[in-house]
Amino acid sequence: MRTKTHVKAVAVAFAATERRQQRLAQRPEKTWSRITVAALVAALLMAVLAPTAFAQEPVGSLLFVNRATDAQAFAYIDRYGLFHQTYSLLSNHTYAAPGVSHVVNTANGFLIYHDQTGFAYVERIQHNGYPDLGYSYNFTVGWRDILSIGDYLFFYKGDRSGAIGYITPSDGRFVQTATYLPGSFGYWSHIVATDNFLFFYNRFDGSAAVGYIAVGGSFVTTEYYPPGTLATFDYIVSDGAPLCSALLKSRGGLH
């Protein structure tokens, strides 16, 4: 015969068992929540504390170069539109040499080149507005065009040779990825870089071509337009991707 005391004891035991089951059911969820929070905190700390590669200052900086002496000045424009000079690098700096022919800006620094001697060097503007001279190189002489496109630099000569390379983001070294012998390209009076493509144009016969630099640093031609396709132009200026996309959509060319 069951007494009230016995029934009460059974009820208490059942309630305790139910609470234990609820705690066991909730434990994986709590454990998962703790793991998730810990992972998020760890990811945040990694993002904040991890070292970042030193890169070219992306906003507002200006580099001035004297072609004859290679003297330089550095400045920036602040958010109020005011001009501030930060530093002057006289013509007796480490790599100073007369006859600068190309100053090409990339995401990872400037390439400064002398076409008469082949001397070149990498320079960056730091976040404080001061210069950082990188490595120097002896390239071949006579590069007529040096264009920055994406992560790469494209070189072209009047003998229709070419080369491709890039500046490393970690230490500012120049790495060459491809070399093209004389005659590898057509003769182009103008070469223009857009966001993703290179546009080649011969103003003397109206021919043109389009290509891009593939991953790994090799050149790929996407289209060729025979002589007479385009009229005669003196200047071609890129405002991003529309230059090439408009031409590719109109196979009849521009007149």
Residue pLDDT tens, the chain, 255 long: 444 444 454 444 445 545 554 444 444 443 333 433 333 333 333 333 333 444 455 457 899 999 998 899 999 888 899 999 998 887 778 888 889 999 999 989 999 999 999 999 999 988 888 889 889 999 999 999 999 999 999 999 999 999 999 999 988 899 999 999 999 999 999 999 998 999 999 999 999 999 999 999 999 999 999 999 999 999 999 885 444 333 433 334 444
In a domain, 217, yes or no: no
Determine the structural domain holding residue 89 and report its residue range.
54-148
Tokens in use for 219?
């050149």
In a domain, 223, yes or no: no
The H or E element spanning position 9 is: helix 4-49
Cα separation values, 184 from 3, 61, 147, 204, 229, Å = 104, 37, 18, 19, 22
Instruction: List phi, psi (to 5°) of 113.
Output: -130, 145
In a domain, 107, yes or no: yes
**Which residues are CB-contacts of 4 (< 8 A; sequence separation ≥ 6)?**
none
Q: CA 24, 25, 26, 32 torsion: positive or negative?
A: positive
In a domain, 245, yes or no: no
**How many residues in the chain?**
255
In a domain, 81, yes or no: yes
Tokens in use for 232?
């005669």
Tally of domains in the chain: 1
Looking at the DSSP bridge assignments, the partners of residue 225 are 208
What is the residue type of 82? Answer: L
Tell me, yes or no, if the pTM score tops 0.95: no
In a domain, 218, yes or no: no
In a domain, 241, yes or no: no
In a domain, 65, yes or no: yes
Q: How far apart are CA 242 and CA 236, in angstroms?
A: 12
